[in-house]
């Protein structure tokens, strides 16, 4: 983890703690896929437990921070205090169908130079045992297993710019398009050079703030048009 702040380590610990039971629930969901019994109630209860752990931990460790999420919102208790931007579960449908491509994210938004900016962010994919994180001015990083090596690797966007060479994540179609069902995964794929671009429409900023931050810190570009987001290594300018 090098010289990254205690906030990054704190977020990673919270996501790790909340993910332990989530992995257990995932494997139970796998066993239920061939059953006629609906899994909706099981999934909802699993996410409710996830909310309770994450929001409880965030308020315990930083009680003055605000919180923005799709499930819970809280204003900061002091002027110019930071705010947690939380995505409790990205790709809920993947989780419900026992597909391992789902993630959780927490970012910190602070007042810098008169504007609100993300300064730290972590994205976790529990079933793949992959964690991505970034801190302002220190780049974007991946920690997990790469082949036989386990450690931390810096992320960089790709240098591919020719149309025939690059891949993108969007709701479109064609040989160059990939649809994962997970916005956060599309973001880390751009940040790590596996995709050249990703487009998301009608999204809440707090849900993908961590992914946007990773892309920027890995050398990528982000276009924000209302609730639509375009992320890339620069190919969208061509």
Are 23 and 125 within one domain? yes
- Domain membership of residue 197 as a residue range: 168-237
Q: Is the pLDDT of residue 238 over 60?
A: no
Percentage of residues in the chain with pLDDT exceeding 70? 90
Residues 104-109 have a mean pLDDT of: 97
The domain boundary residue, chosen from 154, 188, 222: 154
Are 19 and 84 within one domain? yes
**pLDDT one-digit tens code per residue, 46-89:** 999 999 999 999 999 999 999 999 988 998 877 778 999 999 99
Q: Is residue 160 a part of any domain in this protein?
A: no
Distance CA 182, CA 28 (A): 21
What pLDDT, on a 0 to 100 scale, did the predictor assign at position 2? 52
The helix-helix angle for 6-32 and 40-61 (nearest 10°) equals 170
The helix-helix angle for 205-217 and 183-191 (nearest 10°) equals 10
Q: Residue 108 — very low, low, confident or very high, per pLDDT cuts 50/70/90?
A: very high
Are 202 and 123 within one domain? no
CA atoms within 13 A on the CB side of 112: 9
What pLDDT, on a 0 to 100 scale, did the predictor assign at position 143? 87
Of 19-23, 117-121, 156-160, 175-179, the poorest mean pLDDT is in 175-179
Of 133-142, 159-168, 206-215, the poorest mean pLDDT is in 159-168
What pLDDT, on a 0 to 100 scale, did the predictor assign at position 174? 60
Of 14-18, 166-170, 228-232, the poorest mean pLDDT is in 166-170
Q: Is residue 161 a part of any domain in this protein?
A: no
How many separate domains does the chain show?
2
Are 71 and 103 within one domain? yes
Q: What are the Cα distances from residue 24, in Å, to 17, 30, 98?
A: 13, 10, 11
What pLDDT, on a 0 to 100 scale, did the predictor assign at position 40? 86
What pLDDT, on a 0 to 100 scale, did the predictor assign at position 65? 94
The domain boundary residue, chosen from 132, 154, 176: 154
């Amino acid at each position: 983890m090098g010289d990254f702040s205690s906030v990054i380590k704190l977020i990673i610990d919270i996501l790790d703690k909340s993910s332990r039971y989530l992995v257990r629930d995932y494997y139970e969901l796998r066993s239920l896929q061939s059953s006629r019994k609906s899994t909706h109630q099981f999934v909802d209860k699993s996410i409710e437990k996830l909310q309770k752990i994450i929001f409880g931990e965030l308020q315990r460790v930083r009680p003055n921070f605000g919180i923005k999420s799709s499930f819970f919102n809280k204003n900061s208790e002091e002027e110019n205090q930071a705010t947690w931007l939380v995505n409790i579960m990205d790709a809920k449908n993947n989780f419900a169908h026992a597909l391992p491509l789902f993630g959780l994210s927490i970012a910190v938004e602070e007042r810098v130079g008169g504007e609100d900016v993300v300064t730290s962010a972590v994205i976790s994919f529990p079933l793949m045992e992959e964690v991505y994180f970034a801190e302002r001015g220190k780049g974007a990083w991946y920690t997990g297993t790469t082949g036989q090596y386990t450690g931390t690797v810096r992320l960089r966007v790709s240098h591919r710019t020719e149309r025939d060479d690059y891949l993108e994540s969007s709701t479109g179609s064609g040989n160059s398009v990939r649809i994962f069902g997970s916005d956060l995964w599309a973001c880390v794929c751009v940040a790590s050079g596996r995709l050249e671009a990703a487009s998301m429409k009608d999204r809440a900023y707090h849900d993908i703030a961590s992914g946007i931050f990773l892309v920027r810190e890995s050398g990528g570009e982000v276009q924000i048009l209302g609730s639509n987001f375009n992320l890339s290594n620069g190919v969208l300018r061509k």
